[in-house]
Structure 1
Amino acid sequence: MPKLLLPRSDGTLAAYTPGGVRTFEIPRGTVPQSRIAYSAAHVVCDPLADADPLNRAMIDWEATMAYRRHLWSLGMAVAEAMDTAQRGMGLNWERSKELIARSLAEARSAGGRIACGAGTDHLAPGPTVTLEQVEAAYEEQCGFVESHGGRVILMASRALCAAAKSPEDYERVYGNVLRQVSQPVILHWLGGMFDPNLTGYWGHDDLDEAMEVCLRIIRSHADKVDGIKISLLDADKEIAMRRRLPANVKMYTGDDFNYAHLIHGDEHGFSHALLGIFDAIAPAAAAALHALDAGDSEGFHRILEKTVPLSRHIFQAPTYAYKTGIVFMAYLNGHQSHFRMIGGAEGARSIVHLSELFILADQAGLLEDADMAAERMKRVLAVAGVMA
């Protein structure tokens, strides 16, 4: 195995030799039965496009679709055009429409499960934005997804967060939108740590008060809500809400810190998954879920708990920079030929952060080819001036 010199947080360089490859037992083409597992998938930019990477980055469609086929082959469902795909953070609505249309067609061809984000990101927040404009923006995006045969993930709205004056404004907007969708949607409550522009969503800074508003909306429109994904990085809040949902409404964990025990659940229930980290740890997630299907709780925890330190590292503050780690994992594992991102987001994490990520991924058995991963790590180190 090749030896690397990795920069550490104390300013030193430490020798590290990858430990090799773990083989996960995954029945290919078999979908886990006991839990629904969506992976929020990233996009691969085209690094050779003659376009401004900050304002008009181009997508490598073949590599992007190939990654979705990879996820489906592992039994994962795909959550498309979400924040993991840099939605609203480099990926605008015009580009998102093409991504959604292409992915829905690919899903039909591959027999893969998919749901797509619909929000209001083509409506810039501002003091003159009205609730009617927010509703119209939601209706446009939901209509686009459904017109292409897709299921909607109703994303949180920066414009609504800025325009709403009370919790009742959220109830009005969500109620009007939900009454119009043709099939049940997945709601998405994204915490301020993921997007500071969404702080105070549902009309309250206090999460318990915000939860009451969200639950009122769900109960009033339970026939139009398949489930809710919450990304608050607070396991106790998720469990408390999960226990209060209507019987037909699912909880999809978006907690990239505590997903293992939330998915496993307790005597009162469990969470399904809609996670950004499942993009990076898909083989381990698939193997763990199949162990759970087989009644092997010990095997489930043994596999998945090894990934938690990696996930906590990738999602450390500032949490919204987690996309960099997700794409870096795809690069290390050969799912794309380069470490470039739309919006230049590959520069959002330090070389020390990426070096620790490499170690944690290796320890979790998530480097598919240790020699290739080490060679690619060396290239990134060289750009940072570290010549191993």
Structure 2
Amino acid sequence: MRILVLGGAGAMASGTVRDLISPHQEQISRVVVADRLLGPAQALVDSLGDPRLSAVEVDVADAEALAHLLADCDLCINAVPTFAGQQMVIFDACRQAGRPYVDYGGMGVLTVEQKKHHAAWAKAGVTAVLGLGADPGISNMVCRAVAERLDQIDRINLFWVAKNFGAPSPVLVPPYSLATLLAEYANPSQQFLEGRLQEVGPRSGQEVLILPEPWGQTEFMYTQHSEPLTVPFSQGIRDKGIREFTWKLHLPEHEHRSWLALCSAGFDDYDEPINVQGQIVKPLDLLDALIRRNIERRGHLIPESAIHELHLAIGEGMIGGQSHRINCAVIGGPNPAYAGFNDPATSIGLAIGVQLMLRGGMRPGVWAPEECFETAPFFAELRRRHFTVVEDLPLGGAHAPTFGRKTGQSVQEIPA
């Protein structure tokens, strides 16, 4: 099978490419790393030294060049940043070429627009899977795992936390796309409350969870994300009567304070051009250039990180006529196997989805991950790649982790 990776030299995509040529993958014969500049794509290919890899320069806005690449592949991964403005162009080109399509997500708004094309994709007999990474992606699958255990669903609340237990970096390094990160901090979000989508303010909904070690007491907030726009509407979840679905985020505290400060300085209007000494620039472009230059100049000062992350879904509802609260979590931490990965969970989540699709998991239409994949094989592949999957974090006993939910001054233990 021949895989085309558009934007393949990017931070997330480069990790996915590493997994696609790893021993975990069995059906892939060729991976084309396509990027707008040949240099970074070729550098990645050369560094990996695998004969199945090749590099190519492409402008995805060039319809003829894009069609030529699609004609010579069996599946297309769209890793071009959402805010580059080419998401729908690539999406539509794949349908027209009859090539299965996957992406890391469209910040909700584009995900909804893509879902509107389900009938056209189904009629064409082609599969598209949206938001296939970590969050969204792995997060959707922990939600499905919770939903499968409940006969009736009242609510599912989704959380993601990353905490760095290494030394704080004197150089600010975005954990993922700067545009995505600023959008999460600056924009209002849609949350599924009282049976319908409702808009809530940026960084609102603060809530504290008492998590197992090494996370401990952790504060979360609402941010813009695609999961509330797909999960509560997915068959098998919607049909169980769900009335609430929310997404909340926690980034490492040192970084979180930096992003808050940048928002207070005006970078929350990241896409609105400003005049700087007669030059019209977007704050996003200015900040991105400054951060990149700073990393180039002071990268030697960046200490080794020790990121521990938790993807957690908490569900409440009925099982056998009795009220239950259950949870499912995917846990990731530092591991030598992740050398060269910028964000292992995001890169690997998409690679696993591709693997399952190539095994025969393609159903014509446009799907979110929770609609497309079974939890057991997805979680099995995560475990093979050194992630831990836990259904109901252990409770009780002198050495067991404390797990609870704290709102205001009260702490409510979450039972198994």
Report the TM-score when normalising by structure 2. 0.30
Task: Determine which structure has the larger helix proportion and give its number.
Answer: 1
Report the TM-score when normalising by structure 1. 0.32
Task: Determine which structure has the larger strand proportion and give its number.
Answer: 2
